[in-house]
Homo-oligomer: A and B are copies of this chain.
Amino acid sequence: MGDADRSRLGVGMVGYSFMGAAHSHAWRTAPRFFGLPWDLEMRVVAGRSADGVRAAADRLGWQDATTDWRTLLDRDDVGLVDVCTPGDTHAEIAIAALEAGKHVLCEKPLANSVAEAERMVAAAERAAERGVLAMVGFTYRRVPAVQLARQLVADGRLGQIRHVRAQYLQDWLSDPATPLNWRLDKEKAGSGALGDIGAHIVDLTQFITGEQLTGISGTLETFVTERPVATEFSGLSGTAGTETGPVTVDDAAVFFGRMTGGALATYEATRFAAGRKNAIRIEVNGSGGSIAFDFEDMNVLHFHDASEPAATAGFRRIVVTEPEHRYVGAWWPPGHGLGYEHAFTHQVVDLVEDLAAGRQPRPSFADGLAVQRVLDAVERSSQQGGGWIALT
């Protein structure tokens, strides 16, 4: 940031699709509800299509538009680069931005391979020495109910963790007629359900428990290997054409593992769970209690306190909308629930507070690499038919 006025943070965003819209909303909204240490300025958005990026800038509220993301690196008024592109470009953009002295917020998964992720971590470490900081966007950490889950574990309310049970269930590929998109292309996406949604539950379970996976055994599956080519596409849905093409990623991933504290953990990520739309389900059982979360009811955390007398013990349905709950006081009265995009707004709040304080924001690129190593281990285990892969 050099000697620039630190009371302002100019943001440049690369990519303007699903994630770009969510990030834009967050940059726009965070200062309206939270008292931030810095002012935010939505300077410029970059994208490949000149018309597309110009329209996106107008719609999403960015001052400028460009088809060359590298121009962001030269602008003094851009202090942070927000990377919202598919995974195959993360490493190039993020490393260049860090080297240019720009803070970086990079969407997950950090990269499409462990090697790329390692290069990104190295770049982040070099940048950090100069006060330039990087964060990866595992946004679901910022859901208030997830924060409460983390807090309960950290406060010892669950005791020793014995079981972690994580599922990320969607169904948007359940119909074989759903057309191809970049998320089904290994070149762009790196992997399928594993990296796109499995990455989230790996990160969430490590975040909530404060433990790391020490090894896994798993398998991948592609149920539908050929799909129509989309003629147009928006969000996660598209219009099918008459051509077909190959699906080069996994449709589903299942694996189990062990955590540093001895817990058994099970994971499942799929886009073929008919009727489940965005069911991120996390359960943790410990010697002192349990928690259960499902993103389809995202304002609620279920908590069982095993120290209660048996006659009145049970999972409490905590509506996580009290002022006592993290982030919530800035919004509405109790019971007035939050939605999906609030987590992105909270991400901006946490990131800006960390940047202003000169603190390393979390999840760091190193946290992202840890997730990447788990994903890589699942792929290797699957290739060898389910055997154990230790994670160092």
Per-residue CB contact flags for chain A residues 370-392 toward chain B (1 = under 8 Å, else 0) read: 00000000000000011110000
Q: A167-B165, A268-B266, A315-B316 are in contact. Are A296 and B219 (CB under 8 A)?
A: no
Interface size class of chain A, counting residues whose CB lies under 8 Å from the partner chain: 35 or more
- Provide the A32-55 mask, 1 if CB < 8 A to any CB of B, else 0: 110000000000000000000000
Closest chain B residue to A251 by CB distance?
Answer: B162
Is A262's CB within 8 Å of the partner chain B? yes
The stretch of A5-13, A202-210, A287-295 in contact with B is A287-295
How often does this chain occur in the complex, in copies? Answer: 4
B274 x A285 contact (CB < 8 A): yes
Complex CA distance for A385 and B381, rounded to whole angstroms: 12
Interface residues of A in 326-373 (CB under 8 A from B): 331-342
Q: Is the interface of A mostly helix, strand, loop or mixed?
A: mixed
Assess the A319–B252 pair: CB atoms within 8 A: no
Tell me the smallest distance from the CB of A7 to a CB of chain B, in Å.
14
Question: If the complex has contacts A264-B252, A279-B335, A324-B311, are A162 and B340 also in contact, measured as CB distance less than 8 A?
Answer: no
Q: With A25-B32, A274-B287 given, is the CB distance from A318 to B313 under 8 Å?
A: yes
Instruction: Check: A130 CB closer than 8 A to any chain B CB.
Output: no
Q: B313–A272 contact, CB under 8 A?
A: no
Across the two chains, which residue of chain B brings its CB closest to A336? B340
Q: Indicate whether A237 reaches chain B with its CB closer than 8 angstroms.
A: yes
Task: List residues of chain B with CB within 8 A of the CB of A314.
Answer: 275, 303, 316-319
**Contact B313 A316, beta carbon cutoff 8 Å:** yes
Partner of A252, one of B31, B163, B290, B315: B163
From B18, B218, B290, B333, give the contact of A273 (CB < 8 A).
B290
Nearest first, the 4 closest Cβ-Cβ pairs linking A and B are A278-B335, A277-B335, A275-B304, A339-B339
